[in-house]
Amino acid sequence: MTVLIHDNGESTPAGSLYLEPKTTTSIEELKSAVGLVIDACHGGTCRVFDRYGYEIKALGALHDEQLLFAVPPNRHFVWPAFEIGHRVAVPGVTSSLPGHPIFLETLSDSPRVFLVENFLSAEDADEVIETTLGITAAGFALKRSTTGTQGAVVSSHRTSENAFDTTSPVAMKLKRRVFDLLGMRWDGLQVLRYNASKAYIPHMDYLEFDSNADHNFDSASPGGTNRFATVLLYLTDVEEGGETVFPLGEPLEKETRTTQEIQAEARARGRAADLTPGSWEEEMTETCISRLAVKPQKGRAVLFYSQNPDGTPDERSLHGACPVVKGVKWAANLWVWNGPRFGHSATSPAKEAEGKIQAVFSSAVEGVALYWETTRWGKMGPGEAELKAMTYQGHKWNVRRDEGEEQGAVLASWTIEAEKAEDGVIQYRYEG
Ligand SMILES: O=C(O)CCC(=O)C(=O)O
Ligand SMILES: [Fe+2]
């Protein structure tokens, strides 16, 4: 039997494996074999998923020509885009309409954007709005939206209102469903209202690395977490405007109009009528009708990723909310993180921040690799670039043999000691 091995989130295989039923007898052997195809899975460290996001737990479930997706340790399964218009019924996630599955339809592969159909029923959408209007607690009730991580800042670049629904049964149900769709953790359900002309300037949901000293937002580093994906639920239809726009995404129908034609169409549709001339909202209207834009439709959702599968920020995930022209737009945001928002393992964020250190690793010896605990970090040797990582007091890094019979054997271990850092940087060199 032959299986095709894909890197996490990739639409084309990195290689294939022939599995001999007699010799490949355990999942561990499958994982080791995957490690031969995918560098980041060296030594069998990756989990293996099918194309629907289910982890392969038994070899009996495999079939010939099956696509397998290798997910490195500390990373999450990312839906592959395949091609624009590709539709997949998501198994195992409850939809709003019994008998009608949730469909993911690929809108763009970079940025990685999917339309989610049948995500919530009209009743669910109405209930979220009703519940939101009834929230009175300070800090949760509907009020002008803010931006930033260092305390809330009212910004002229985000003119909607929002509320947080952290407790209602319908919010819990929808959060669980998003969790099922992605298999991860979430922020609260942020409910948004955009009245006429209200909008949100194009931005990234990913938070800046240095936006808050108490948290490691570098999601590609050990223990670092940040917003990973966003599922935006549309709670109402909007007559005109209010699209979620991805300025770096290709529109589904290739744009052939000239700038003048686009501007004329914007005027004809009343797009900029209520907007201040020269404002960012007015400037945005052109992007809204010429780039990848998802029209709000009650019961639908849009899923997009803010991180690449390796945890680095995807700068192409830039998006915004187009000014509402006619009607009121209600939507709800779920920001999903790649790991806990507040702290991780047993240590508090404040404690973590104290020991936050940049480490630089190198080796005078060939044929070795650096590991964080059991996570492969990269190859080291005289001909290789230094490896850098944001790490913390007490983290353990290992040098392992990377070839030959003793592959995987630990040759040296370093435990990060904050007092050895100079200006926040520690150098480690393996001399053999
Ligand atoms: O309302 C929208 O379409 C987008 C909202 C958004 O990007 C956000 O709240 O982060
Ligand atoms: Fe956003």
Domains of the chain by range and CATH?
A: 2-71 (3.10.20.230), 87-337 (2.60.120.620), 355-430 (2.60.40)
**9 or 52: which carries more pLDDT confidence?**
9
What integer best gives the mean pLDDT of the chain?
A: 85
Sheet holding 292-294, edge to edge: 200-203, 319-321, 244-246, 292-294
Contact 8, 309 (CB under 8 A): yes
Average pLDDT over residues 201-216: 80
The answer to whether residue 341 scores a pLDDT higher than 70 is no
Average pLDDT over residues 244-268: 93
Closest C-alpha to ligand 1, atom 10:
205
Residues, CB-to-ion distance under 5 Å, ligand 2: 205
Contact 49, 55 (CB under 8 A): yes
Q: Are strands 67-71 and 368-372 parallel, antiparallel or unpaired?
A: unpaired
Average pLDDT over residues 286-293: 95
pLDDT in tens, 218-233: 888 877 888 899 999 9
Question: In this predicted structure, what is the pLDDT of residue 91?
Answer: 75
How many other CB atoms are found less than 10 A from the CB of residue 355? Answer: 16
Q: Write 252-258 long-range contacts (CB < 8 A, 24+).
A: 252/84, 252/85, 252/107, 252/292, 255/290, 255/291, 257/290
Taking the CA of residue 302 as reference, the ligand 1 atom at the shortest distance is 3
Assign 373 to helix, strand or coil. Answer: coil
**Ligand 1 neighbour 108 (Cβ under 6 A):** no
**138 or 244: which carries more pLDDT confidence?**
244
Question: What's the CA-to-centroid distance between 245 and ligand 1, angstroms?
Answer: 9
The answer to whether residue 358 scores a pLDDT higher than 50 is yes
Question: What's the CA-to-centroid distance between 321 and ligand 1, angstroms?
Answer: 5
Question: In this predicted structure, what is the pLDDT of residue 351?
Answer: 37
Give the DSSP letter of residue 90: E
Alpha-carbon dihedral sign for residues 349, 350, 355, 357: positive
Assign 52 to helix, strand or coil. Answer: coil
The answer to whether residue 150 scores a pLDDT higher than 70 is no
Question: In this predicted structure, what is the pLDDT of residue 230?
Answer: 92
Q: Which two tokens stand for residue 125?
A: 């959408």
Which ligand number lies closest to the CA of residue 192? Answer: 1
Concatenating the DSSP letter of every residue in 267-300 gives HHTTTTTTSPTTSHHHHHHHHHHHSEEEPP-TT-
pLDDT in tens, 173-198: 888 788 778 755 455 678 889 989 89
**24 or 302: which carries more pLDDT confidence?**
302
The answer to whether residue 20 scores a pLDDT higher than 90 is no
> Within 135-272, where are the H helices?
169-182, 259-268
Supply the ipTM of this predicted assembly: 0.98
Question: In this predicted structure, what is the pLDDT of residue 386?
Answer: 85
Question: What's the CA-to-centroid distance between 244 and ligand 1, angstroms?
Answer: 7
Taking the CA of residue 335 as reference, the ligand 1 atom at the shortest distance is 10
**Ligand 1 neighbour 321 (Cβ under 6 A):** yes
Q: Which of 157, 237, 319, 335 to mutate to test the pocket of ligand 1 (most atoms within 8 A of CB)?
A: 319
Closest C-alpha to ligand 1, atom 7:
320
Q: How confident is the model at residue 46 (pLDDT cuts 50, 70, 90)?
A: very high
Closest C-alpha to ligand 1, atom 5:
321
Question: In this predicted structure, what is the pLDDT of residue 183?
Answer: 55
Q: Which residue has the tokens 């830039």?
A: 318
Taking the CA of residue 162 as reference, the ligand 1 atom at the shortest distance is 9
How many other CB atoms are found less than 10 A from the CB of residue 16? Answer: 13
Which ligand number lies closest to the CA of residue 245? Answer: 1
Q: How far apart are CA 193 and CA 132, in angstroms?
A: 10
Helix (H) or strand (E) holding 240: strand 240-241
Assign 55 to helix, strand or coil. Answer: strand
**Ligand 1 neighbour 192 (Cβ under 6 A):** yes
Query: Which of 160, 151, 235 shows the shortest CA–CA distance to 200?
Result: 160
% the chain with pLDDT above 90:
44
Taking the CA of residue 245 as reference, the ligand 1 atom at the shortest distance is 3
Residues in the chain, overall count: 432
Instruction: Rounding to the nearest 10 degrees, give the CA dihedral for residues 35, 41, 43, 49.
Output: -70
Alpha-carbon dihedral sign for residues 89, 93, 94, 99: positive
Sheet holding 357-363, edge to edge: 387-391, 357-363, 425-430
Q: Which two tokens stand for residue 270?
A: 């009343």
**Ligand 1 neighbour 200 (Cβ under 6 A):** yes
Q: Which two tokens stand for residue 65?
A: 């020509």
Average pLDDT over residues 130-140: 83
Question: In this predicted structure, what is the pLDDT of residue 99?
Answer: 78
**179 or 45: which carries more pLDDT confidence?**
45
Q: How confident is the model at residue 373 (pLDDT cuts 50, 70, 90)?
A: low
**Ligand 1 neighbour 333 (Cβ under 6 A):** yes
Alpha-carbon dihedral sign for residues 194, 198, 199, 200: negative
Average pLDDT over residues 292-314: 94
Question: In this predicted structure, what is the pLDDT of residue 113?
Answer: 97
Closest C-alpha to ligand 1, atom 1:
321
Q: How far apart are CA 354 and CA 209, in angstroms?
A: 16
**221 or 389: which carries more pLDDT confidence?**
221
Average pLDDT over residues 112-125: 93
**Ligand 1 neighbour 189 (Cβ under 6 A):** no
**Ligand 1 neighbour 319 (Cβ under 6 A):** yes
Q: How far apart are CA 343 and CA 216, in angstroms?
A: 9
Which ligand number lies closest to the CA of residue 302? Answer: 1
The answer to whether residue 214 scores a pLDDT higher than 80 is no
Contact 86, 107 (CB under 8 A): no
Give the DSSP letter of residue 177: H
